[in-house]
């Protein structure tokens, strides 16, 4: 009797698996038959939003379907990530994924999803460095000047971020520890809002990604002091690296990607990846992203390679957990 029951359960599981495979195959044949949404976890104007909106029109053109970029801002991008993680794995709800902010948030915000197992890794876009930018009214021409000012007035100077537990939050806390200065964190719902206040001289500095900062730096509305790359970049050739200015160990970058809920049909994943790869490699789009400081990869070019990349990134979470603890990064 028990053996028959076990057999029936196994047969039912096999039937369900077969139905899912069949439905996945059928979905792949008709996909996409309606608009696709790409969720961005931050307010408009930040790096993630800029990259998503640069790619979406071309991707929609390739797929002959509308691509809607939707901002679900808050909690360092984890609201949008949780929404996508709990969505149907049918290829119509995607996440403009980002890197370290979710990793740090795991230990600050106690997010309700697993970043390793609750997503399908589809396409890696590239990474962007973080830039230390200040309002030009501040009498600091180099990082040493800024450090001297901050040491003279502990707790007076402020830095913005795209939210508690974000990469920018970690970057500011890490900078403070390495430089031996006391600077205060001001969280926002996205980089765009933080930069608006930086431009208005409401906060002192920002450790943001290049896309939302570049136009303001080039216009002289913000002053760039250092960049978090091993070498200087052609987009900002006069900006020294943090290592050059004596801030050693400041390794903070953001990578961007497209991800979906777990258990997406492989054929749909392949279609999305092909469209994304074609969009990113379109000469006009690639030039736009390159101008924004996006650094591309010659190795992470398939969903399988991106899946391995995500696993490797997740292996760093213990390091971030220690940093969060050491730097006292908390959800105030």
- Cα 215 vs. chain centroid, distance in angstroms? 20
Quick one: which H or E segment has residue 277? helix 266-280
Question: Cα–Cα distance between 186 and 159 in angstroms, integer?
Answer: 6
Phi, psi of 236 (to 5 degrees): -135, 70
82 and 110 in contact (C-beta within 8 Å)? no
Give the model's pLDDT for residue 292: 81
> What's the pLDDT tens digit per position in 171-230?
999 999 999 999 999 999 888 899 999 999 999 999 998 888 999 999 999 999 999 988
pLDDT surpassing 80 at residue 142: yes
Query: For residue 46, which of 113, 82, 111, 98 has the smallest C-alpha distance?
Result: 98
3-state DSSP assignment of residue 118: coil
Does residue 100 surpass a pLDDT of 60? no
Supply the mean pLDDT for the chain: 87
- High-pLDDT (> 90) share of the chain, %: 59
pLDDT over threshold 90, residue 4: no
Predicted confidence (pLDDT) at residue 65 exceeds the cutoff of 60: yes
Q: Which of 80-94, 97-111, 283-297 ranks highest by mean pLDDT?
A: 80-94
Predicted confidence (pLDDT) at residue 323 exceeds the cutoff of 80:
no
d(CA 136, CA 144): 15
Of 10-14, 150-154, 256-260, the poorest mean pLDDT is in 10-14
Distance separating alpha carbons of residues 309 and 302, to the nearest angstrom: 10
pLDDT digits (tens, 9 = 90+) for 126-135: 988 899 999 9
pLDDT digits (tens, 9 = 90+) for 236-255: 999 999 999 999 988 777 88
Measured between alpha carbons, how far is 296 from 124 in angstroms, rounded to an integer? 9
Q: Which residue has the higher pLDDT, 175 or 312?
A: 175
Q: What's the pLDDT at 19? A: 46
- CA nearest to 256, candidates 128, 101, 74: 128
pLDDT computed for residue 219 by the predictor:
95
77: left (phi over 0), alpha (psi -120 to 50) or beta: left
The string of pLDDT tens digits covering residues 19-58 is: 444 455 666 678 999 999 999 998 888 888 989 999 999 9
| pLDDT confidence of residue 147 | 98
- Residue of 83, 27, 89 lying closest to 262 (CA atoms): 89
* Burial zone of 287 (CB within 10 Å; 0-12 exposed, 13-18 middle, 19+ buried): exposed
- CA pair distance 67, 275, nearest whole angstrom: 12
The pairing of beta strand 158-161 with beta strand 184-187: parallel
The mean per-residue pLDDT over the stretch 135-143 comes to 96
Report the percentage of the chain scoring pLDDT > 70.
Answer: 87
Residue 36 half-sphere exposure, CB side, CA atoms within 13 Å? Answer: 31
Asked if the model's pLDDT at residue 2 lies above 90, the reply is no
* Preceding peptide of 164 cis, ω within 30°: no
Quick check: 124 pLDDT over 80?
yes
pLDDT tier for residue 13 given thresholds of 50, 70 and 90: very low
Q: Classify 129 as helix, strand or coil.
A: strand
Looking at residue 105, what is its pLDDT? 67
CA distance 293 to 274: 23
């Amino acid at each position: 009797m028990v053996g028959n029951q076990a057999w029936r359960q196994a047969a039912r599981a096999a039937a369900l698996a077969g139905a899912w495979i069949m439905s996945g195959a059928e979905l792949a044949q008709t996909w996409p038959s309606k608009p696709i949404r790409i969720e961005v976890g931050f307010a408009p104007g930040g790096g993630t939003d800029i990259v998503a909106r640069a790619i979406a029109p071309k991707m929609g053109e390739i797929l002959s379907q509308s691509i809607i970029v939707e901002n679900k801002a808050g909690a360092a991008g984890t609201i949008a990530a949780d929404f996508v993680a709990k969505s149907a794995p049918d290829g119509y709800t995607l996440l403009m994924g980002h890197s370290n902010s979710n990793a740090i948030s795991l230990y600050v915000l106690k997010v309700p999803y697993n970043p390793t197992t609750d997503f399908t890794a589809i396409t890696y876009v590239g990474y962007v460095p973080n830039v230390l930018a200040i309002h030009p009214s501040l009498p600091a021409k180099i990082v040493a000047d800024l450090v001297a000012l901050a040491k003279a007035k502990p707790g007076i100077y402020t830095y913005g971020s795209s939210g508690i537990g974000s990469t920018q939050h970690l970057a500011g806390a890490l900078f403070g520890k390495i430089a031996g200065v006391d600077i205060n964190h001001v969280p926002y719902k996205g980089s765009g809002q933080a930069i608006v206040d930086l431009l208005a001289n409401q906060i002192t500095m920002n450790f943001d990604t290049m896309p939302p900062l570049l136009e303001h730096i080039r216009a002289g509305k913000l002053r760039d002091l250092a960049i978090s790359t091993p070498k200087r970049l052609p987009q900002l050739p006069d900006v020294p690296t943090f290592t050059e200015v004596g801030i050693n160990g400041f390794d903070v970058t953001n990578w961007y990607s497209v991800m979906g809920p777990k258990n997406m049909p492989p054929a749909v994943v392949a279609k999305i990846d092909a469209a994304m790869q074609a969009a990113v490699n379109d000469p006009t789009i690639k030039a736009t992203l390159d101008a924004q400081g996006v650094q591309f990869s010659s190795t992470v070019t398939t969903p399988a390679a991106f899946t391995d990349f995500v696993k490797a990134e997740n292996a760093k979470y213990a390091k971030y957990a220690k940093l969060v603890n050491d730097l006292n990064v908390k959800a105030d």
